[in-house]
């Protein structure tokens, strides 16, 4: 499983999708959490902004890797059961 996860992590499409999710979700969360500070010219806590983008990226990346690994496991199991019969 860990070897398969490493292989999936090398795929650019997985990272591209996670970056898109992080951009959308992170922007929405930053607008909710720090929107008044940003629009009002107040000081912005930049580490919070970065974390607000990093969390959805990591969640999306984990989700993509787990889904691909699970699909491969299911595919291999069904292929094995078909060839065993």
Q: What pTM value is reported for the model?
A: 0.79
So where are the chain's domains?
A: 21-77
Which pLDDT tens digit goes with each residue over 35-47? 888 888 888 888 9
Give the DSSP letter string of 26-64: HHHHHHHHHHHHHHHT----HHHHHHHHHHHHHHHHHHH
**The pLDDT of residue 58:** 97
pLDDT of 22 above 70: yes
Which pLDDT tens digit goes with each residue over 58-73? 999 999 999 998 887 7
Across 14-23, average pLDDT:
96
pLDDT of 19 above 80: yes
């Amino acid at each position: 499983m860990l070897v398969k996860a490493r292989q999936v992590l090398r795929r650019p499409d997985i990272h591209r999708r996670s970056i898109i999710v992080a951009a959308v979700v992170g922007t929405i969360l930053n607008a909710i959490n720090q929107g008044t500070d940003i629009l009002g010219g107040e000081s912005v806590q930049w580490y919070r902004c970065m974390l607000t983008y990093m969390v959805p990226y990591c969640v999306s990346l984990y989700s993509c890797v787990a889904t691909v690994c699970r699909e491969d496991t299911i595919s291999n199991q069904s292929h094995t059961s078909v060839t065993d019969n």
